[in-house]
Structure 1
Amino acid sequence: MKIFSVSVVLAPPSAPCTVLSNGQDLSSFSFYQKGSVGEFMNFMSRTVAERTPQGQRQSVQENNYTAHVYNRGGAEQLAAVIVTDHEYPVRPAFSLLTKVLDEFTAKVPQSQFSNPSSISFPDINTYLAKYQDPSQADAIMKVQQELDETKIVLVSGAHNDQFMSNGAD
């Protein structure tokens, strides 16, 4: 499971989208691929944000990637997009999108949206790193993983007890 890109996009309903903030993890690509892959991630983020109606969430698959988008719309006209591999679960993806938009609107004044180069939002890289492991970032998924591990321990313990009692006969 891998997140390659997280973007906050200005997505007005009748105009082209603009990436306001972006974090990328392209460490799994070679030095020579990173530039073109990064450009592709930005293009994909803008395109899916433009094609997602305001107030909607959707996931779009393209080749080896899935773009999860949440176009919040509203007064800010913002959308958030993450580009992941196909294995990344949907619930943590949309949880991340909501958190990024909430944090971005709390820290970046709307007056700066018209000048994207003036926007500083380093938290996007923190979210990118934290959500690489969706079970650490999504509370429900983490609890489910712990329950599954406990169940494995209990089942294997029961089999060992049964084996030991059968072997003693």
Structure 2
Amino acid sequence: MKVFAIAVFYKSQPNAILVNGSFDLQSFSFFQRNSVRQFMVFTGKLIIDRSPIPNRTTVKEQGYLCHVYIRADCLSGLVVTDEEYPSRVAHNLLSKVLEDFSAKVPPSVWKVDREPENIDYNGLDSFLARYQDPKTADAMTRVQEELDETKIILHNTIQAVLERGEKLDDLVERSEGLNVQSKMFYKQARKMNRCCTWV
């Protein structure tokens, strides 16, 4: 999972204008980096130009995902990731980037009809570095991964108990911690699952 670019645009008429950007193109050869950067900016401008205001969208282009968020004030963001990167995390990143950018840079600086000269904003670099690993940057992704790991551990633990020659059915019958209703529920669920496997 990788984030290649984060860029801020102003959706001007007739064409979007790049206001600020940060790129991590180390995975491309040195001679391709400028072309890749230009193509990412071009694709971002194209998506923003052809999208309504306000809008959130994700477009797949040549094995990459271009996530775009256009706010009602025409401030727009682009995040380019690989296909494995979670879209929810990318759109969360876009919201945070545009919120941070608009809080630190006044609209009079970025609401212009040409590319702004020197914008004193370097927050995109820190966002780009922090969001390379969605698990560390996003709490929900981290919780989901922990749940998946716990599920695997529980499954392995139950399998280890069953491999010792004990059957789960026998353990349920002998259990004093389960009431009669719970035991009946287990038996019915077991029968239903058996029935489904034969179909």
Quick check: TM above 0.5?
A: yes
Q: CA deviation at 1:165?
A: 4.9
Q: CA deviation at 1:135?
A: 2.2
Which of 19-28 and 155-164 deviates more? 155-164
TM-score scaled by structure 2? 0.77
Which of 110-119 and 137-146 deviates more? 110-119
- Correspondent of 1:111 among 108, 124, 144: 108
C-alpha separation in 2, matches of 1:151 and 1:165: 22
Which of 151-160 and 29-38 deviates more? 151-160
Which of 79-88 and 115-124 deviates more? 115-124
Instruction: Give the match's secondary structure for 1:73.
Output: coil
Which of 138-147 and 26-35 deviates more? 138-147
Aligned pair 1:78/2:75, yes or no? Answer: yes
Q: CA deviation at 1:139?
A: 1.7
Cα-to-partner distance string for 1:63-99 (whole Å, 9 max, x where unaligned): 122111011132xx20001111122211001101100
Aligned pair 1:134/2:119, yes or no? Answer: no
Cα-to-partner distance string for 1:15-74 (whole Å, 9 max, x where unaligned): 211111101010100111111111111111111111111111111111122111011132
Larger Rg belongs to: 2
| Preserved CA contact (<8 Å) 1:52 1:69 | no
C-alpha separation in 2, matches of 1:141 and 1:78: 27
| Preserved CA contact (<8 Å) 1:112 1:118 | no
Aligned pair 1:91/2:51, yes or no? Answer: no
C-alpha separation in 2, matches of 1:130 and 1:21: 18
Instruction: Give the match's secondary structure for 1:9.
Output: strand
Matched residue, 1:53: 52
- Which residues of 2 match residues 17-56 of structure 1 at below 5 A? 17-56=16-55
- Correspondent of 2:99 among 97, 102, 106: 102
CA RMSD of aligned residues (A): 1.4
C-alpha separation in 1, matches of 2:32 and 2:86: 26
Letter in 2 for 1:84: T
Letter in 2 for 1:8: V
Instruction: Give the match's secondary structure for 1:116.
Output: coil
**Runs of 4+ displaced beyond 4 Å:** none
> Structure 2: where are the runs of 5+ without partners?
167-199
Which of 41-50 and 102-111 deviates more? 41-50
Instruction: Give the match's secondary structure for 1:32.
Output: coil
C-alpha separation in 1, matches of 2:51 and 2:84: 22
C-alpha separation in 1, matches of 2:155 and 2:63: 37
Instruction: Give the match's secondary structure for 2:164.
Output: helix
Letter in 1 for 2:100: E
Q: Kindly, what percent of the aligned residue pairs are identical?
A: 41
TM-score scaled by structure 1? 0.90
> Structure 1: where are the runs of 5+ without partners?
none
Instruction: Give the match's secondary structure for 1:93.
Output: helix
